[in-house]
């Protein structure tokens, strides 16, 4: 089946890595349905170029809110028409910095709801369509090296990302016999909005600890996403693959 007939859903694509993934996959010929809480100027540019041709769909959706997730997936599948759902990239996520003992309860719950529960529910919705379509598929969860390595002040975030790795391994066993692979991509420190809050000293320490000698770029991650969606990756599943410049080595 050609790429233009394989729908890929990407969550959290208004900026950063999610936006980069959408832009790259559009260039590869995939039709894309995406969501975010709001639209950015960069996303508007993509929509103006690709939406009129029926190649890009966007709907406001706050991942972590079940009713909104269901409404988005239903609208995306209706927009896709005869194109079958082939890929889900669970990218939507939030972080929160603070010592756990004094971290607000509501912030803990929101991080887990968006990063983990939202991803689980989106995977369930996607799998219903994939199993019905019977063309196989790809689920890619965007994790983080913090999920396995931990960082002071990011306990709730680390726990939510570690949960994604557990989801990846278990779900890979469930759906592997149906030709659906499930993998996790764990980026290191990237030059995105989430790293802009680092102080010069913090940034310097990270760069010195990284064998590659720099922070990562979105362009370092998207080729792996592209590969995992491809037929060449059909025997790779249940894996958490780090893209971190060697900092976790």
Domain layout of the chain by residue ranges: 3-242
Tell me if residue 157 is catalytic.
yes
C-alpha separations of 94 from 29, 113, 114, 130, 201 in Å: 29, 10, 7, 27, 23
Answer whether 105's CB lies under 8 Å from 27's CB: no
pTM of the model: 0.94
Residue 234 to residue 218: CA distance in whole angstroms: 24
Superfamily of the domain at 3-242: NAD(P)-binding Rossmann-like Domain (3.40.50.720)
CA 138 to the chain's CA centroid: 12
User: What pLDDT digit, counting tens, does each position of 110-125 carry?
Assistant: 999 999 999 999 999 9
Answer whether 31's CB lies under 8 Å from 80's CB: yes
Average pLDDT value over all residues in the chain = 92
> Once rounded to an integer, what is the mean pLDDT over residues 163-169?
97
* pLDDT value of position 202: 80
């Amino acid at each position: 089946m050609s790429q233009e007939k394989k729908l890929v859903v990407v969550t959290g694509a208004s900026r950063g890595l999610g936006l980069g993934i959408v832009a790259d996959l559009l260039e590869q010929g995939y039709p894309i349905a995406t969501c975010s809480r709001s639209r950015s100027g960069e996303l508007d540019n993509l929509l103006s170029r690709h939406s009129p041709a029926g190649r890009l769909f966007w709907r406001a959706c706050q991942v972590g809110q079940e009713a909104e997730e269901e409404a988005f997936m239903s609208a995306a599948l209706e927009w896709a028409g005869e194109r079958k759902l082939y890929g889900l990239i669970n990218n939507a996520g939030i972080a929160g910095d603070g010592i756990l003992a004094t971290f607000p309860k509501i912030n803990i719950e929101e991080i887990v709801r968006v990063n983990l529960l939202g991803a689980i529910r989106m995977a369930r919705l996607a799998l219903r369509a994939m199993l019905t379509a019977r063309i196989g598929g790809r689920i890619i969860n965007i994790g983080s090296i913090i999920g396995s390595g931990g960082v002071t002040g990011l306990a709730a975030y680390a726990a939510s990302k570690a949960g994604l790795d557990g989801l990846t391994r278990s779900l890979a066993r469930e759906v592997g016999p149906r030709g659906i692979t499930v993998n996790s991509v764990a980026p290191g420190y990237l030059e995105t909005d989430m790293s802009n809050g680092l102080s010069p000293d913090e940034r310097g320490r990270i760069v010195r600890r990284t064998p590659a000698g720099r922070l990562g770029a979105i362009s370092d991650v998207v080729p792996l996403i592209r590969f995992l969606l491809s037929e060449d990756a059909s025997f790779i599943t249940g894996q958490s693959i780090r893209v971190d410049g060697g900092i976790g080595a």
